[in-house]
């Protein structure tokens, strides 16, 4: 974080400053801000956020032991650390993030990119960060820090020297993207797609469109909206960009896109394609597994080139990326039995993309095995969307469909009714039971996809299988 006096922070937060020890109102702090006491280091600021299962105020002694010099609290604590008492810790995080980003922006050349979409946010964020980090100091979210807590924590890592801030904006309820993007008003807003992820929380895909479009509403006047030309709902956001005085930069697979891909070829080693960037043609070999990552790469290129970075530099850096993120299309195991662990997140769109990739990378003498769990946050659409995945798995001729958990049982029943009734599809209540089955069932040449939402916990099953066949 930038250097600020204790009194300035208290003013920004509208809080009460409670001094301890030798501290005064003019004492300057500049450490990292965090809500996890385990991540606190010397000189850092600890935010005591009450949680669903634990109260951050109980961890103030642990934060002090690790070197915290300031605690932002909702109630005064009997501890030898300076505190700022605020009405709400999460609101305080947002207020401090807004102030810090505005200060840095006013002092220098900070440029901000915001990314949202039903799928692909984290991969696109990582791709763009890889490009930007080679240019200058870049701050980007760790893992999927894209909510009311994670997004401000990322913003608060900005310093006086930061040139680029990449913010990822997720949403589990209406209004979240407007609130988070409104903290920074990005120079570039990237919308990847509007799909069924989290549709249960919004009441359907049209409501999801309204939520995702809030990023374009928040783009600074004169900024850039990077939009998916292949998604009609995203393309419709061009009108919002025009209202904001923002330029539209299109990416996609169709001829209308300024940044597009042609001749895409998926292999077990990665994806080859021709990138056409503002009329120039470049051969590309992405080592990240999955055809769907081509669109993420195009979005990252469109955003980076809108910031003035040349296409050659973008592509050279992207070609060095081997893994989008842990548990996202992560190759494990060995050539004998290849495990693809993609069980950090799942939506109908990402589930379909992963199944298609499995089919594409499996040779004629190899066998496809899909280990599938539930897709969360679909609300009333959960049943029919799990049905669709079961149908797709059969129509892609996935040879073994292993379904885990009662929340995914509809997927299993759908696969059976579509024709996988002779042992091709099996169901297990627990990952342990599925593991025992797979250890006896898998054989040389198998290509195994493990895919589910994070809540299903199958990423650990993927790790376990990867170790067993490494």
Q: Where do we find the tokens 């949202």?
A: 116
Residue 406, annotated ligand binder? no
Cβ contact 138:300 at 8 Å: no
Rounded Cα distance between 226 and 48, Å, is 37
Cβ contact 124:299 at 8 Å: yes
Rounded Cα distance between 148 and 202, Å, is 17
Rounded Cα distance between 67 and 333, Å, is 41
Residue 119, annotated ligand binder? yes
Q: Where do we find the tokens 């997927």?
A: 411
Residues 6+ apart with CB under 8 A from 229: 235, 250, 251, 252, 254, 256, 257, 260
Residue 305, annotated ligand binder? no
Q: CB neighbours (10 Å) of residue 246?
A: 25
Residue 49, annotated ligand binder? no
**E strand or H helix at 200:** helix 199-202
Partners of 111 in beta bridges: 164
Whole-angstrom distance between the N-terminal and C-terminal Cα of the chain? Answer: 42
Residue 82, annotated ligand binder? no
Q: Which of these, 81, 50, 52, lies nearest to 64 by C-alpha position?
A: 81
Rounded Cα distance between 304 and 275, Å, is 14
From the annotation, which residues make up the binding site for ATP?
117-123
The annotation places the binding site at 117-123
């Amino acid at each position: 974080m930038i250097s600020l006096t204790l009194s300035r922070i208290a003013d920004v937060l509208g809080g009460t400053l409670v001094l301890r020890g030798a501290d005064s109102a003019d004492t300057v702090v500049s450490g990292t801000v965090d809500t996890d006491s385990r991540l606190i280091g010397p000189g850092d600021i600890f935010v005591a956020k009450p949680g669903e299962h634990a109260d951050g105020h109980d961890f103030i002694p642990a934060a002090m032991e690790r070197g915290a010099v300031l605690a932002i609290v909702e109630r005064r604590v009997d501890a030898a650390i300076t505190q700022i008492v605020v009405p709400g810790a999460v609101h305080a995080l947002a207020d401090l993030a807004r102030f810090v980003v505005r200060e840095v922006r006013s002092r220098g050349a900070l440029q901000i990119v915001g990314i949202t979409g039903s799928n692909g946010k984290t991969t696109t964020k990582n791709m763009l960060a890889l490009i930007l980090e080679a240019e200058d100091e870049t701050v980007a979210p760790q893992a999927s820090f894209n909510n009311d807590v994670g997004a401000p924590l990322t913003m608060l890592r900005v310093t006086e020297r930061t040139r680029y801030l990449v913010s990822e904006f997720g949403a589990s309820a209406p209004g979240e993207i407007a609130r988070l993007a409104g903290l920074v008003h990005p120079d570039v807003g990237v919308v990847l797609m509007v799909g069924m992820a989290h549709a249960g929380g919004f009441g359907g895909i049209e409501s999801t469109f309204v939520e995702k479009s809030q990023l374009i509403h928040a783009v600074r006047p004169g900024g850039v909206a990077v939009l998916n030309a292949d998604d009609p709902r995203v393309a419709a956001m061009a009108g919002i960009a025009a209202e904001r005085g923002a330029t539209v930069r299109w990416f996609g697979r169709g001829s209308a896109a300024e940044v597009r891909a042609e001749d895409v070829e998926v292999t077990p080693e990665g994806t080859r394609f021709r990138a056409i960037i503002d009329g120039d043609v470049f051969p590309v070999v992405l080592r990240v597994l999955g055809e769907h990552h081509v669109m993420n790469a195009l979005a990252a290129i469109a955003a980076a080139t809108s910031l003035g970075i040349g296409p050659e530099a973008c592509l050279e850096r992207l070609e060095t990326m081997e893994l989008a993120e842990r548990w996202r299309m992560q190759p494990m195991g060995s050539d004998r039995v290849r495990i693809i662990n993609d069980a950090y997140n799942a939506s109908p769109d990402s589930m379909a993309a992963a199944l298609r990739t499995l089919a594409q990378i499996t040779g004629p003498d190899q066998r496809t095995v899909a280990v599938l769990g539930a897709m969360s946050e679909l609300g009333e659409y959960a049943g029919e969307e799990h049905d669709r995945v079961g149908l797709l798995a059969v129509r892609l001729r996935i040879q073994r469909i292993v379904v885990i958990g009662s929340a995914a049982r509809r997927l299993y029943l759908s696969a059976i009714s579509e024709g996988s009734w002779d042992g091709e599809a099996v169901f297990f209540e627990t990952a342990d039971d599925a593991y025992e089955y797979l250890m006896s069932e898998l054989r040389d040449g198998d290509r195994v996809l493990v895919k589910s939402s994070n809540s299903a916990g199958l990423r650990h099953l993927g790790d376990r299988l990867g170790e067993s066949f490494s």
